[in-house]
Amino acid sequence: MSAGSLTILVIDENRIRASIIEAGLRDAGHRHVTVVHDVAGIARRIAELEPDVIVIDLENPNRDMLENMFQLSRAVKRPIAMFVDRSDQASIEAAVDAGVSAYVVDGLKKERIKPILDMAISRFNAFSRMARELEEARSELESRKVVDRAKGILMKSRGLSEEAAYALLRKTAMNQNRKIAEIAQSLVTAAGLLGPLEGE
């Protein structure tokens, strides 16, 4: 059987991440991939699709409901177990670290599932990295803005050049063992409290 013959259901509330996983599965030759973002009515979807593999994100608060359904529900014609092999502690840890888990129908060979889980793990990690970098870029931009405002306050109130204002911020930060952005934020806050120093 080729990779494409497996039916895979991806349950992820994060649409961007879900589409990244979906693309990965399709690149790997899987043709029967369904993505759902909302677990409402999930029992019926599972009954219709009869998935061989279900990939879900660990942040999903409905995991307990889903696991119970996999074990008991009439909607699930074939028993579905968590993809766990005690001999493969490393991939369990990698999956939990990445924030993803896979459930598979009984009897499906480990070798057929492993590539799917590995792909999901690497894409989840890539997504987290991307989200982190985005967050860093955003806070970097925020810091730059606040440093600019602090420089402006110093230039105006102490008659400094832009360069001297920045040097003063940096020196203060070094002396207090804090970040320039923190010093700048304190200055902006203090200036706000002390009145119309900014000329607003």
Between 74 and 109, name the residue whose CB sits nearer to other proteins: 74
Of residues 25, 43, 44, the one with CA closest to residue 35: 25
Residue 47 within binding range of other proteins, rule CB under 8 A: no
Q: Report CA 94 to chain centroid distance, whole Å.
A: 15
Among 1, 27, 38, 64, binds other proteins (CB under 8 A): 64
Among residues 101, 35, 98, the alpha carbon closest in space to that of 63 is found at 101
CA 114/CA 53 separation, integer angstroms: 11
Nearer residue to other proteins within complex by CB, 56 or 146: 56
Tokens 């307990």 sit on residue: 64
Residue window 67-96: x/- pattern of binding to other proteins, with contact defined by CB under 8 A:
xxx-xx--------xx-x----x--xx--x
Q: Least Å distance between CB 17 and other proteins?
A: 15
Cβ neighbors of 112 (< 8 A, separation 6 or more) are 1, 3, 6
Binding residues for other proteins, rule: CB under 8 A, are 58-65, 67-69, 71-72, 81-82, 84, 89, 92-93, 96, 101
